[in-house]
Amino acid sequence: MVMPHIKDNTAIEGGSEITDENNRLDRSLVLLIAVATGLTVASIYYAQPLLEAIRGSLGMTETYAGLIVTSSQLGYALGLVLLVPLGDIYERRNLVVIMTIGMAAGLAGIGFASSAILLIILSVIVGALSVVAQILVAFSADLAGPAERGRVVGTVMSGLLLGVLLARTAAGILAQIGGWRSVFWSASVLMILIAGMMYRGLPLYASRVRFGYRALLRSIPPLFREERVLRLRAAYGAIAFAIFSVLWTPLAFLLSKPPFNYSPGIIGLFGLAGVAGASAASVAGRLADRGRDNKTTLAAIVLIIVSWLPIEFGRHTTWVLMLGIVLLDFGVQALHITNQSQIYRLCPEARSRLTASYMACFFAGGVAGSSLSSWIYAVWGWTGVCALGTIFGMLALCIWTIDKLQQEGLICYFKKSSDVQNCIPKDFMSERKLSAICVKPGTLEEQSVIR
């Protein structure tokens, strides 16, 4: 059974429609996708507050225990490259259901793990399969109509962000009640339940693209080269997650020392400050639907830069620090949602590959930010961390300014390093020809398709 094209905004599932009386995507379906996205992505964050308990239970060193988190991140990175693109060639509902059941098995295995090596291997597998969250984000963009796509993606991303932010808190509370293994057993049960709900609630959606897996992977680099908007938004995304990591990586060191002297449990609660930022996802999505992507991007970048002032001065005062965290998280999430709203307009047949390309850059930015902030904090302390975050923000502002000048035709745009073109006027930039690479991987012929 093949779902009609996205412009029809309907899907046949047992004869039922997925839209309401106003021809908008049914809210219960959007809520299901948002909940599923949050629960699946949460699976790679449960272990973070439990490392000390796991280390003591399995007799691991602190360094070895740290590999649990690293292995989950490694698995997630592999999943972005190797699994997310599958959404462009396989039927989406069955794909996400099978991956979610695989996650349930992996989480149950972690709960029963009796050795550190087995636990780390299973963490890699769970991390890789947890990219089902990114497939669901792309799926929601396919199901939504153009007029509501930003709102729908924003709502789904709010679920994802809440899953990321609340996973640590929920894991800590549950571990206090039933031990660290109960966290993973409970998560496994949740995955089984959400898999059943998705099987019953999601429409069938078969891709129109037909080619092999290797050809699918080979098509990603040409797609990245051909789509300037994708490269631009991937740069914004990498910087946004770098800034996010610059803050959160050394924050525990700051809060565990005078004048705060907070316990690990209290430090974990600081993650709840980021919940306020989840509201930015819905706001940014609605603004994107109204064609205000450029202004939203600028506002988000400025907010990120300004947020480092209270973060710096808040090193002695909790409420000032909390204010800075909320502002920064709001700006980062608004920029992230605006990025995704932009790239999902490019090639409907390649949304999973667009997601893989964007999220790979996003993740790489986070790794860079985390690594740099740890070193900067050791050498220059919290002031150095704030300076690094501000520099990243100014870099994003420079990119925005250059892009704006290119759109206005005030500076030249080079499509290829060997091809120096005349300055492109603004009206032409809005009617850019898209490459056929979104449909035919490995082919560089252009179609006369104006989007």
Pair 360, 246: CB distance under 8 Å? no
Pair 13, 80 in one domain:
yes
Beta carbons within 10 angstroms of residue 295's beta carbon: 12
Q: Tell me whether residue 448 is in a domain.
A: no
Tell whether the model's pLDDT for residue 439 goes beyond 60. Answer: no
Does the residue 388 lie in any domain?
yes
Question: Which residues contact residue 193 at a Cβ distance below 8 angstroms, ignoring those fewer than 6 apart?
Answer: none
What is the biggest distance separating any 2 CA atoms in the chain, rounded to whole angstroms?
Answer: 66
Give the separation between CA 169 and CA 49, rounded to whole angstroms.
8
Q: How confident is the model at residue 448 (pLDDT cuts 50, 70, 90)?
A: very low
> Helix, strand or coil for residue 190?
helix
Residue 17, pLDDT score = 52
Same domain, 240 and 384: yes
Residue 272 sits in the same domain as residue 293: yes
In tens, the pLDDT along 394-420 reads 999 999 999 999 888 776 654 443 333
Contacts of residue 14, Cβ cutoff 8 Å, sequence gap at least 6: none
- What was the pLDDT predicted at 281? 66
* Residue 261, pLDDT score: 87
Total domains, the chain: 2
378, 259: one domain = yes
CATH number at residue 157: 1.20.1250.20
Domain presence at residue 370: yes
Residue 170 lies in a domain: yes
Torsion of CA 232, 233, 239, 245, to 10 degrees: -160
Q: Which of 170, 186, 212 is the last residue of a domain?
A: 212
Question: Residue 396 in contact with residue 378, Cβ under 8 Å?
Answer: no
Give residue 310's domain range: 219-443
The pLDDT value recorded for residue 70 is: 74
Residue type, 293: D
* CA–centroid distance for 246 within its chain: 17
The reply to whether 262 and 136 lie within a common domain is no
301 exposure class (CB count in 10 Å sphere: 0-12, 13-18, 19+): buried
- Residue 183 located in a structural domain: yes
Calculate mean pLDDT across residues 238-246.
92
If asked whether residues 83 and 11 sit together in one domain, one would say yes
Residue 450 lies inside a defined structural domain of this protein = no
Report the pLDDT value the prediction gives residue 14, as an integer from 0 to 100.
38
Give pLDDT, residue 284.
Answer: 73
In whole numbers, what is the pLDDT of the chain averaged over residues?
81
Same domain, 205 and 225: no
Q: What does the pLDDT look like over 301-352, one tens digit per residue?
A: 999 999 999 999 999 999 999 999 999 988 998 899 899 888 988 888 788 8
Three-point CA angle 442, 447, 451, nearest 5°: 110
- 340: three-class secondary structure by DSSP: helix
Please state the pTM of the whole predicted model: 0.75
**What is the per-residue pLDDT for 110?**
94
Within this chain, do residues 407 and 288 fall inside the same structural domain, yes or no?
yes
Q: What is the reported pLDDT for 275?
A: 72
Q: Which of 346, 348, 349, 355 is nearest to 451 (CA)?
A: 346
Distance CA 96, CA 305 (A): 37
**Alpha-carbon distance 418 to 273, whole Å?**
48
Structure tokens at 403: 């892009």
187: in domain: yes
Do 115 and 200 belong together in one domain?
yes
Of 11-20, 89-98, 199-208, 338-347, where does the model show the most confidence?
Answer: 89-98
Q: What's the pLDDT score for residue 400? A: 95
CA atoms of 328 and 311, how far apart (whole Å): 9
Q: Report if residue 449 sits inside a domain.
A: no
Task: Indicate if 268 and 319 belong to the same structural domain.
Answer: yes
Mean pLDDT along residues 70-88:
87
Q: What is the DSSP string of 249-309?
A: HHHHHHHTSTTT---HHHHHHGGGGGHHHHHHHHHHHHHHHTT-HHHHHHHHHHHHHHHHH
Q: Which of 212, 232, 258 is the last residue of a domain?
A: 212
pLDDT of residue 125: 96
What average pLDDT does this structure show over 33-41?
94
What integer pLDDT is reported at residue 361 of this predicted model? 92
179 plus 246 within the same structural domain: no
Angle (nearest 5°) at CA 49 between 76 and 325: 85
* Alpha carbon distance 251, 166 (integer Å): 17
Single-letter residue type at 135: I
Q: Which of 212, 246, 280 is the last residue of a domain?
A: 212
Same domain, 37 and 2: yes
pLDDT of residue 432 exceeding 50, the answer is no
- How much is the pLDDT for 63? 66
The answer to whether residue 33 scores a pLDDT higher than 50 is yes
pLDDT for 6 equals 37
CA distance 88 to 324: 39
